[in-house]
Amino acid sequence: LASTAPSRDDFSGRTLGDYRILRRIGRGAMAEVYLAEQLSLARQVALKVLKQELAEDATYVKRFQNEARAAAALVHANIVQIHEVGCIDDVHFIALEYVRGQNLRQLLDRHGPLETRLAVTIMRQAAAALHRAARAGVVHRDIKPENIMLSAAGEVKVADFGLSRIAGAEGVDLTQVGVTMGTPLYMSPEQAEGKKPDPRSDLYSFGVTCYHM
Protein backbone atom coordinates (compact mmCIF):
# COMPACT_ATOMS: atom_id res chain seq x y z
CA LEU A 1 0.00 0.00 0.00
CA ALA A 2 1.22 3.48 -0.80
CA SER A 3 1.63 6.13 1.87
CA THR A 4 1.13 9.86 1.82
CA ALA A 5 4.35 11.88 1.97
CA PRO A 6 5.11 12.40 5.68
CA SER A 7 6.60 15.44 7.32
CA ARG A 8 10.08 14.94 8.71
CA ASP A 9 8.86 16.35 12.02
CA ASP A 10 5.50 14.77 12.72
CA PHE A 11 3.63 11.89 11.05
CA SER A 12 0.31 12.70 12.76
CA GLY A 13 -2.61 12.67 10.33
CA ARG A 14 -0.69 10.67 7.72
CA THR A 15 -1.24 7.18 6.39
CA LEU A 16 1.65 4.73 6.33
CA GLY A 17 0.66 1.55 4.54
CA ASP A 18 -2.06 -0.13 6.60
CA TYR A 19 -1.76 2.41 9.41
CA ARG A 20 -3.58 5.71 9.83
CA ILE A 21 -1.47 7.70 12.28
CA LEU A 22 -3.59 9.57 14.82
CA ARG A 23 -1.21 11.43 17.14
CA ARG A 24 2.23 11.33 18.68
CA ILE A 25 2.28 9.81 22.17
CA GLY A 26 5.99 9.55 22.94
CA ARG A 27 9.55 10.33 21.92
CA GLY A 28 12.82 8.53 22.45
CA ALA A 29 16.44 8.87 21.43
CA MET A 30 15.99 6.70 18.35
CA ALA A 31 12.31 6.77 17.53
CA GLU A 32 8.98 8.50 17.97
CA VAL A 33 5.86 6.63 19.01
CA TYR A 34 2.40 7.30 17.59
CA LEU A 35 -1.08 6.06 18.29
CA ALA A 36 -2.34 4.61 15.01
CA GLU A 37 -5.28 2.67 13.62
CA GLN A 38 -4.51 -0.51 11.71
CA LEU A 39 -7.09 -0.19 8.95
CA SER A 40 -7.32 -3.84 7.91
CA LEU A 41 -8.09 -5.05 11.44
CA ALA A 42 -9.80 -1.91 12.79
CA ARG A 43 -7.65 -1.86 15.91
CA GLN A 44 -5.41 0.66 17.61
CA VAL A 45 -1.67 0.04 17.76
CA ALA A 46 1.42 1.88 18.90
CA LEU A 47 3.58 2.70 15.89
CA LYS A 48 7.26 3.26 16.61
CA VAL A 49 8.94 5.18 13.76
CA LEU A 50 12.72 5.44 13.45
CA LYS A 51 13.75 9.08 13.30
CA GLN A 52 14.40 10.20 9.74
CA GLU A 53 17.91 11.47 10.42
CA LEU A 54 18.85 8.04 11.83
CA ALA A 55 17.23 6.02 9.05
CA GLU A 56 20.13 6.98 6.79
CA ASP A 57 22.59 5.23 9.13
CA ALA A 58 22.75 1.45 8.65
CA THR A 59 23.87 0.93 12.26
CA TYR A 60 20.76 2.57 13.66
CA VAL A 61 18.52 0.69 11.24
CA LYS A 62 20.05 -2.61 12.39
CA ARG A 63 19.65 -1.64 16.04
CA PHE A 64 16.01 -0.72 15.40
CA GLN A 65 15.41 -4.06 13.69
CA ASN A 66 17.24 -5.84 16.49
CA GLU A 67 14.74 -4.41 18.96
CA ALA A 68 11.91 -5.90 16.93
CA ARG A 69 13.58 -9.32 16.65
CA ALA A 70 14.35 -9.50 20.35
CA ALA A 71 10.85 -8.47 21.42
CA ALA A 72 9.06 -10.59 18.80
CA ALA A 73 10.78 -13.70 20.16
CA LEU A 74 9.23 -13.07 23.58
CA VAL A 75 5.59 -14.12 23.61
CA HIS A 76 4.27 -13.49 27.10
CA ALA A 77 1.24 -11.83 28.67
CA ASN A 78 3.49 -9.36 30.51
CA ILE A 79 5.56 -8.26 27.50
CA VAL A 80 4.37 -5.71 24.93
CA GLN A 81 3.88 -7.70 21.72
CA ILE A 82 5.18 -6.92 18.23
CA HIS A 83 2.59 -7.00 15.43
CA GLU A 84 4.68 -6.06 12.41
CA VAL A 85 8.04 -4.69 11.34
CA GLY A 86 8.21 -2.79 8.06
CA CYS A 87 9.66 -0.10 5.86
CA ILE A 88 7.55 2.03 3.50
CA ASP A 89 8.94 4.93 1.49
CA ASP A 90 12.21 4.65 3.47
CA VAL A 91 10.28 4.99 6.75
CA HIS A 92 11.22 2.20 9.16
CA PHE A 93 8.54 1.30 11.70
CA ILE A 94 7.45 -1.28 14.27
CA ALA A 95 3.76 -1.83 15.01
CA LEU A 96 3.27 -2.77 18.66
CA GLU A 97 0.47 -3.72 21.00
CA TYR A 98 -1.08 -0.50 22.32
CA VAL A 99 -1.40 -0.55 26.10
CA ARG A 100 -4.18 1.74 27.29
CA GLY A 101 -3.14 3.18 30.64
CA GLN A 102 0.03 4.68 32.06
CA ASN A 103 3.58 3.73 32.90
CA LEU A 104 4.92 3.19 36.39
CA ARG A 105 6.79 6.49 36.37
CA GLN A 106 3.55 8.39 35.75
CA LEU A 107 1.82 6.49 38.54
CA LEU A 108 4.63 7.24 40.99
CA ASP A 109 4.70 10.91 40.02
CA ARG A 110 0.98 11.17 40.77
CA HIS A 111 0.73 9.06 43.91
CA GLY A 112 4.20 8.67 45.42
CA PRO A 113 5.22 5.36 47.08
CA LEU A 114 2.71 2.62 46.33
CA GLU A 115 0.55 0.64 48.71
CA THR A 116 2.16 -2.73 49.39
CA ARG A 117 -0.46 -4.90 47.69
CA LEU A 118 -0.28 -2.89 44.44
CA ALA A 119 3.52 -2.82 44.51
CA VAL A 120 3.68 -6.60 44.93
CA THR A 121 1.21 -7.10 42.06
CA ILE A 122 3.37 -4.99 39.76
CA MET A 123 6.55 -6.73 40.93
CA ARG A 124 5.12 -10.21 40.35
CA GLN A 125 4.03 -9.50 36.78
CA ALA A 126 7.19 -7.60 35.80
CA ALA A 127 9.33 -10.39 37.26
CA ALA A 128 7.42 -12.94 35.17
CA ALA A 129 8.28 -10.95 32.05
CA LEU A 130 11.96 -10.80 32.99
CA HIS A 131 11.97 -14.52 33.74
CA ARG A 132 10.64 -15.21 30.24
CA ALA A 133 13.26 -12.93 28.68
CA ALA A 134 16.07 -14.55 30.67
CA ARG A 135 14.97 -18.02 29.56
CA ALA A 136 15.20 -16.81 25.95
CA GLY A 137 18.64 -15.33 26.59
CA VAL A 138 17.41 -11.76 26.06
CA VAL A 139 18.79 -8.95 28.23
CA HIS A 140 16.59 -5.84 28.27
CA ARG A 141 19.31 -3.44 29.53
CA ASP A 142 16.97 -0.56 30.40
CA ILE A 143 14.49 -1.69 33.05
CA LYS A 144 13.04 1.40 34.74
CA PRO A 145 9.58 2.73 35.72
CA GLU A 146 9.04 4.34 32.29
CA ASN A 147 9.32 0.92 30.64
CA ILE A 148 6.79 -0.81 32.88
CA MET A 149 3.33 -0.23 31.45
CA LEU A 150 0.16 -0.48 33.55
CA SER A 151 -3.05 -1.14 31.64
CA ALA A 152 -6.44 0.14 32.74
CA ALA A 153 -7.38 -3.51 33.42
CA GLY A 154 -4.51 -3.93 35.89
CA GLU A 155 -2.14 -5.80 33.59
CA VAL A 156 1.59 -5.06 33.74
CA LYS A 157 3.63 -5.18 30.53
CA VAL A 158 7.35 -4.60 30.08
CA ALA A 159 8.05 -2.39 27.06
CA ASP A 160 10.90 -1.06 24.93
CA PHE A 161 13.56 -3.64 24.19
CA GLY A 162 15.48 -0.94 22.27
CA LEU A 163 18.79 -1.69 24.02
CA SER A 164 18.22 -5.45 24.23
CA ARG A 165 20.83 -8.05 23.46
CA ILE A 166 20.41 -11.74 22.68
CA ALA A 167 23.02 -13.45 24.82
CA GLY A 168 25.53 -15.50 22.85
CA ALA A 169 24.25 -14.39 19.42
CA GLU A 170 26.92 -13.20 17.05
CA GLY A 171 26.25 -9.94 15.26
CA VAL A 172 23.15 -9.11 17.29
CA ASP A 173 24.68 -6.98 20.02
CA LEU A 174 25.12 -3.63 18.29
CA THR A 175 26.47 -1.80 21.30
CA GLN A 176 30.23 -1.53 21.77
CA VAL A 177 32.38 -2.79 24.60
CA GLY A 178 33.25 0.12 26.86
CA VAL A 179 30.18 2.14 25.85
CA THR A 180 27.61 2.72 28.59
CA MET A 181 24.02 1.92 27.55
CA GLY A 182 20.92 2.34 29.69
CA THR A 183 19.56 4.85 32.21
CA PRO A 184 22.14 5.81 34.87
CA LEU A 185 19.82 5.86 37.89
CA TYR A 186 18.77 2.25 37.30
CA MET A 187 21.69 0.58 35.53
CA SER A 188 23.80 -2.15 37.09
CA PRO A 189 27.44 -1.55 38.04
CA GLU A 190 28.71 -3.64 35.12
CA GLN A 191 26.66 -1.56 32.68
CA ALA A 192 27.98 1.66 34.23
CA GLU A 193 31.50 0.34 33.59
CA GLY A 194 30.69 -0.53 29.98
CA LYS A 195 30.98 -4.28 30.60
CA LYS A 196 28.88 -7.05 29.10
CA PRO A 197 25.52 -7.45 30.92
CA ASP A 198 23.50 -10.63 31.42
CA PRO A 199 20.01 -11.29 32.88
CA ARG A 200 21.31 -10.45 36.37
CA SER A 201 21.82 -6.89 35.15
CA ASP A 202 18.08 -6.62 34.51
CA LEU A 203 17.40 -7.97 38.01
CA TYR A 204 19.58 -5.22 39.48
CA SER A 205 17.66 -2.54 37.56
CA PHE A 206 14.40 -4.17 38.56
CA GLY A 207 15.50 -4.08 42.20
CA VAL A 208 16.18 -0.34 41.97
CA THR A 209 12.73 0.09 40.39
CA CYS A 210 11.14 -1.87 43.24
CA TYR A 211 12.95 0.32 45.77
CA HIS A 212 11.61 3.37 43.94
CA MET A 213 8.07 2.00 44.37
**Catalytic residue positions?**
142
Bridge partners for 43 per DSSP: 38
DSSP 8-state code for residue 182: S
**Pairing of the two strands 82-88 and 91-97:** antiparallel
Other Cβ atoms less than 10 A from the Cβ of 198: the count is 16
Phi and psi, residue 93, nearest 5°: -145, 160
Yes or no: say if 153 and 62 are a contact pair by the CB < 8 Å rule. no
Alpha-carbon span 188 to 199, nearest angstrom: 11
Q: Is 112 left (phi over 0), alpha (psi -120 to 50) or beta?
A: left
